[in-house]
Amino acid sequence: MKTFRYGRGSFGSRPDWRTYQSGLRRTKEPRRNSNRICRRIAEAAAFAALIYGCYAVLPINVGTLKDRWITPLFTTAAGVSVSGDEAPQQRAAAPAPGGAESEAQPPGEGAPASKNPPSPPPPAEAPASAGEASGSSPEPPVLKPDAEDTPAPESTPTAETAVALNDAADSVFASDPDGAMEFTTPVIDKAEIQLLFDRRRFVNLSKRAFDYDFDGRRYHIDTSIDNRLQQYMIASLQPQHAHSIGIVIMEPETGRILSMVSHDRDDPNNNACTESLFPAASIFKIVTAVAAVEEYGLQPDSTVTYIGAKHTLYRSQLNRKNQRNANRISLRDSFAQSVNPVFGKLGAQYLGKQALISHAEAFGFNQEIDFELPMAPSSFSVSDEPYNWAEIASGFNRSTMLSPLHGAIMASAVVANQGRLVEPSIVDQITDSSGRIIYRGQPKTLNKALSPETSSAMQSLMEETVLTGTCRKTFQGLSRSPVLSRLNIGGKSGSINSKSHERRRFDWFVGYAEEKAGNRKIVLSIVVAHQNYIGVKANMYARMAIEKYFENVGPKI
């Protein structure tokens, strides 16, 4: 992940968030595209010079060069040591990969042009540096770009990208005389998928698998979407009074997206789930609570105090001297009831600027996270003013921005992977028209956001929110529900109004659900930007999704 530093300043000094995000993309796009072009030119020149030197110096023809030197070299790199004469026999005995048969296809789209697609093998245990060369001279595989060369989200596919993909595919897959192919390593990565495929194609997917045509070639995409859950959430969407809705449901251990549903009144083709256009509000209290537990050893039963109302944040409420009539409350209840003065005091009087920054970045704020679709980083900034520290820590501001997908990633660290963030993925596998696998998703964890001990404390806080806190009305009757009574459910809600002229109210739920006597679990992140009237709230969408996913007892998808 790549760290970004956003401009310093307290709430009120930042530009409009839409202008800020679009300006950020425009400034990064030219530099990234320029670096990528220069990198490809340098690679092509170096490779051409190497081939020319070998052909001019060695007293053998190209075929001999391939059989005696190139084939053993690449085969050894793949983990099999054979001589040039033995290479054809080794390739003939290799298992054949295959194309994935689609579970369902959109109307009007054909199947991949492969008569007898073989079955796919398991991924290689050790990644190979390159496949066997085809033709008279080897072609270089597409290299994974560095972080600073990652394509900008608004980049569009080009003919050069397709040529690089096709050339790399020929070099990574080795064919024998009978047509068998051996899968060695993926041709493209998540950053290059963003260039090849139209991100609008992934908005509100109706089927798990589909075909996509690009540059005269057809590609078959198998996604991680749970068809039953996805179709249910799309049918349950009620956007009449909402400007935007983003729903993300994910497996916390693997990062596989089970459902991603979006609504944007201004642009129906926009994916609101990957846009950091929503104030984080009280969802940021998750970060503050983790910091308080790890930095000062607070526990769910620890007693904290506050004065005044629970959901306001005045400077007088942060005054150390004005504690004569202070209210006493546990950290668990203050989190469940979202008491702003408690978390404001934690930020201003205890944690301070540096602790807030370090824990926010540990949870992925101001970070680029790899995903098959363009994903805007969630922004976070803090000034040198203690009152701003209180605003940030309590979520009582509109400057900390969060995307629904990032909210699910935050929840994954609380309930899985020993406190580590998980890298999200919506594409399981991509095959080309000949059945060759050019991409296969792999689970990957990122940096550690909290310790396992802190994770247990956070689950206690989030479960109290559902039982007695701000989510209690939505989840009432848990013990009587045939589905919900079998689950442990935790979450954090959040809400904040937009600027007066926008007339929107942002409504959040970030949480999880897991079986008490099973292994299945999911994390959820839902935001609704209500407009004019309050419609279906994020908490209710969360309950609907949990009941639908766990209604049938069975193996994990």
Contact criterion met (CB below 8 Å) for 413 and 449? yes
Q: Which helix (H) or strand (E) holds 223?
A: strand 217-223
Averaged pLDDT for residues 332-347: 97
Place of tokens 């209710």: 540
Mean pLDDT to the nearest integer, 214-237: 94
SS3 35: helix
Read off the tokens for 523.
Answer: 């994390």
pTM: predicted TM-score of the whole model, two decimal places: 0.69
**Which amino acid type is present at position 468?**
T
What average pLDDT does range 322-342 have in this prediction?
92
Of 12-21, 185-194, 308-317, 453-462, the range with the lowest mean pLDDT is 12-21
Q: What is the pLDDT of residue 216?
A: 86
What integer is the mean pLDDT of 229-239?
96
Confidence of residue 38 (pLDDT cuts 50, 70, 90): confident
**pLDDT at position 133 over 80:** no
Measured CA to CA, the distance from residue 57 to residue 53 in angstroms comes to 6
| Rounded Cα gap, residues 78 and 72, in angstroms | 10
Most distant CA atoms of the chain, gap in Å = 94
- CA 557/CA 555 separation, integer angstroms: 6
* Listed ranges 28-32, 265-269, 287-291; the one with the highest mean pLDDT: 287-291
pLDDT at 151 over 70: no
pLDDT at 188 over 80: yes
Secondary structure of residue 454 in the 3-state scheme:
helix
User: Is a pLDDT exceeding 70 seen at residue 222?
Assistant: yes
Give the rounded percent of residues in the chain with a pLDDT score beyond 70.
Answer: 69
Distance CA 95, CA 342 (A): 62
- The tokens describing 486, both together, are 């079998």
Whether 324 and 295 have beta carbons less than 8 Å apart is answered as no
pLDDT at 155: 41
pLDDT tens per residue across span 379-404: 999 999 999 999 999 999 999 999 99
- DSSP codes of every residue in 58-91: SSS-HHHHIIIIIHHHHHHHTT----TTTHHHHH
Say which range, 31-45, 91-105, 316-330, has the weakest mean pLDDT: 91-105
pLDDT, residue 368, reads 94
- All residues at 6 or more sequence positions from 103 whose CB lies less than 8 Å from its CB, including other chains: 207, 208, 209, 222, 227
Could you tell me which of 301, 280, 395, 389 has the C-alpha nearest to residue 345? 389
The pLDDT of 516-533, averaged and rounded, is 95
Report the pLDDT averaged over residues 404-412: 98
pLDDT at residue number 507: 96
Element (H, E) at 71: helix 71-77
DSSP output for 425-453: B-EEEEE-TTS-EEEE----EEEE-S-HH
Note the pLDDT tens digit of each residue in 425-462: 999 999 999 999 999 999 999 999 999 999 999 999 99
Q: What is the pLDDT of residues 56-97, one digit of tens each?
A: 555 445 444 445 444 444 444 444 443 334 433 443 343 433
Pairwise pLDDT comparison (466 vs 107), residue with the higher score = 466
> Are 369 and 339 contacting, i.e. CB atoms less than 8 angstroms apart?
no
Looking at mean pLDDT, say which of 17-26, 135-144, 210-219, 484-493 comes out highest. Answer: 484-493
What's the confidence (pLDDT) of residue 325? 82
Q: Is the pLDDT of residue 361 over 50?
A: yes
